[in-house]
Amino acid sequence: MNLNNNIPPQYAKIRKEFLYNKEKHIGESEDCVIHSVTTMEGYTPLFNILLPNGAFYCRLPIHAFFHKDYDREDIKDPELKELTYWDCMSYFGSVHHFNFVGSSKVKFMGRDKATHDGSYLFTIDYAHPNKNIIDTTHSEIAQEHKYHHFIIIEDSYLKGNFALMPNNKCLFNVPNFTVENAVPDYKVNMEYLSVENDNWKTDNTNNQYYGVDDE
């Protein structure tokens, strides 16, 4: 989808000053439901919410929110950079809940170089599907592509906040499969993979089971 996507609804609290351009209500909070995300190239993912008074408020960053089970005075007010690394890769975002790691515990390495534990909720991915528009983004460059995994942080000084983390900063825990504890030393995939860009042709016939000739 282009620009806006529904997400699994997250019942949360908003730091109330974000509703007032940070000019007043500092330190207060308000219940909300985070229901969709806006992806704009060059911006952090921005979230759209519904408030108890019926107001629909748009395009708020991840550090505007914290989990509904916490009180404002019990959690840290983080900077945006403490909760995410990258901006949106494209205007064309999509939202996925990967079932195999759904509800998994996950640990991630923050910019503070500390490990934080949390639970996985869903993922934002990016692409450039319109070939009639010049692709100037990083979303389809193999070594540059990034996910945003939406995570509830459950320990450390950031507990109660949400995070948006890429693959290479996360390790998921699926107990019957992820039995190793070492941080891997994998390399980034640098290949553009296609099976149609070689010197080969099919038979020039109407045979259903056509042959293939390499040149």
Whether pLDDT at 143 is above 80: no
- Do 16 and 29 touch, CB atoms closer than 8 A? yes
- In DSSP terms, 109 is beta-bridged to 115
Average pLDDT, the chain: 92
CA distance 35 to 152: 16
> Tens digit of pLDDT for each residue in 65-97?
999 999 999 999 999 999 999 999 999 999 999
Whether pLDDT at 17 is above 90: yes
Averaged pLDDT, 165-170? 96
Whether pLDDT at 40 is above 90: yes
CA distance 202 to 137: 34
Whether pLDDT at 204 is above 90: no
Whether pLDDT at 203 is above 90: no
All residues at 6 or more sequence positions from 196 whose CB lies less than 8 Å from its CB, including other chains: none
CA distance 83 to 18: 17
Q: Dig out the tokens for 81 from the structure.
A: 């950079």
Going through 75-182 in order, the beta strands assigned E by DSSP cover 92-96, 105-109, 115-127, 148-153, 162-165, 170-173
Of the pLDDT bands very low, low, confident and very high (cuts 50, 70, 90), residue 4 is very high
Averaged pLDDT, 166-188? 91
- Do 62 and 50 touch, CB atoms closer than 8 A? no
Whether pLDDT at 148 is above 90: yes
- In DSSP terms, 30 is beta-bridged to 14
DSSP H or E stretch at residue 1: none
Q: Which residue has the higher pLDDT, 186 or 165?
A: 165
Lowest mean pLDDT among 34-43, 75-84, 133-142, 147-156: 133-142
Q: Dig out the tokens for 111 from the structure.
A: 């910019």
pLDDT of amino acid 1: 61
- In DSSP terms, 20 is beta-bridged to none
144 C-beta neighbours (distance < 10 Å), count: 12
> Tens digit of pLDDT for each residue in 105-129?
999 999 999 999 999 999 999 988 8
pLDDT of amino acid 83: 98
Q: For 74, phi and psi rounded to 5 degrees?
A: -95, 0
